[in-house]
């Protein structure tokens, strides 16, 4: 069923394919579609200072080593990281990061250890863009395509890197086996860092 009305071109394109009864129900309940199936304008975001106004957020970028997800031929709807202030601290949430270069290409295909080092390099660049370092990381979540095969190498490289950095205490961390978004990616890491408001510039 074609959907008409206002909204972004991407959403309009998504909604032009046939929708299941469940999709129609959920899109209507969410307010994306009216009761007659027309695309509705998005609700306005709360303004600054209004009750329930969102925390001011800023995207984190490191274009010299890592492209933006929406730059892919088939764009992905996430930013490489997000920064927001909470009192006198700034929280940095680094999205899942892998062995990707500034053109969005996987590098070091088939070489787990090299991919892990590149992943650490990409995260370091994202942190640096916000005046932070690995010393500000409080948590990592590490996704390995084959945890049984690669965990020994993962732990050896991670331990060596963190020891070289002199991290103490070590960040909290979880290791998970997961199917990653590309077949040639072997590891992906997301991270949370906390720094003094304004960073360490």
CATH number of the domain residue 177 falls in: 3.30.1330.40
Q: Do residues 64 and 21 both lie within one domain?
A: no
Report CA-CA distances (Å) from 178 to 29, 137, 159.
Answer: 32, 22, 21
Q: Per-residue pLDDT tens for 11-21?
A: 676 677 787 78
Q: Do residues 19 and 69 both lie within one domain?
A: no
Specify if 130 maps to a domain. Answer: yes
Q: Do residues 77 and 21 both lie within one domain?
A: no
Predicted pLDDT of residue 18: 83
Task: Specify the residue for token string 């600054």.
Answer: 48
* Rounded distance between C-alpha atoms, residue 15 and residue 129, angstroms: 37
The one-digit pLDDT tens for each residue of the chain (201 residues) are 333 333 456 567 667 778 778 777 777 877 888 888 888 887 765 566 555 555 666 777 777 777 666 555 655 667 889 898 888 999 999 999 999 988 889 999 999 999 999 999 999 999 989 989 999 999 999 999 999 999 999 999 999 999 999 889 999 999 999 999 889 999 999 999 999 886 655
Q: Per-residue pLDDT tens for 20-47?
A: 787 777 778 778 888 888 888 877 655 6
* Residue range of the domain that includes 188: 57-196
Specify if 50 maps to a domain. Answer: no
* Rounded distance between C-alpha atoms, residue 34 and residue 148, angstroms: 49
Specify if 48 maps to a domain. Answer: no
Specify if 201 maps to a domain. Answer: no
8-state DSSP, 19: P
Q: How far is CA 55 from the centre of its chain?
A: 18
Phi, psi of 94 (to 5 degrees): -95, 120
Q: Do residues 99 and 187 both lie within one domain?
A: yes
Please report, for the chain, how many H helices and E strands are present, in that order.
4, 6
- Tokens representing 154 are 């993962």
Q: Do residues 2 and 90 both lie within one domain?
A: no
Specify if 49 maps to a domain. Answer: no
Q: Do residues 14 and 61 both lie within one domain?
A: no
Specify if 96 maps to a domain. Answer: yes
Q: Do residues 135 and 62 both lie within one domain?
A: yes
Q: Do residues 33 and 62 both lie within one domain?
A: no
- Tokens representing 174 are 């979880």
Angle of the 112-128 helix axis to the 147-165 helix axis, nearest 10: 40
Give yes or no for a cis peptide into 137 (omega within 30° of 0).
no
Specify if 192 maps to a domain. Answer: yes
Q: Do residues 1 and 94 both lie within one domain?
A: no
Total count of domains within the chain:
2
Q: Do residues 9 and 105 both lie within one domain?
A: no
Start-to-end C-alpha separation, the chain: 53
Q: Do residues 38 and 91 both lie within one domain?
A: no
* Rounded distance between C-alpha atoms, residue 13 and residue 93, angstroms: 30
Pairing of strands 137-144, 187-196: antiparallel
Task: Specify the residue for token string 């005046």.
Answer: 131
Predicted pLDDT of residue 49: 59
- Tokens representing 137 are 């990381």
């Amino acid at each position: 069923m074609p959907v008409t009305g206002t909204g972004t071109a991407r959403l309009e394109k998504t909604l032009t394919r046939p929708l299941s009864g469940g999709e129609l129900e959920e899109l209507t309940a969410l307010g994306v579609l009216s009761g007659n199936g027309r695309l509705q304008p998005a609700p306005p975001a709360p303004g600054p200072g209004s009750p329930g106004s969102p925390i001011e957020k800023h995207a984190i970028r490191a274009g010299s080593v890592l492209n933006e997800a929406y730059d892919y031929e088939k764009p992905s709807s996430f930013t490489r990281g997000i920064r927001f202030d909470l009192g006198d601290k700034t929280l940095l949430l680094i999205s899942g990061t892998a062995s990707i270069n500034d053109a969005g290409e996987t590098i070091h295909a088939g070489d787990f250890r090299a991919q892990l080092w590149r992943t650490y390099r990409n995260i370091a660049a994202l942190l640096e863009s916000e005046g932070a370092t690995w010393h500000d990381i409080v948590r990592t979540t590490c996704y390995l395509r084959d945890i049984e095969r690669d965990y020994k190498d993962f732990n050896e490289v991670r331990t060596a890197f963190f020891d070289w950095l002199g991290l103490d205490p070590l960040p909290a961390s979880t290791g998970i086996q997961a199917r990653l978004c590309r077949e040639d990616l072997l590891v992906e890491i997301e991270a949370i860092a906390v720094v003094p408001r304004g960073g360490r510039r």
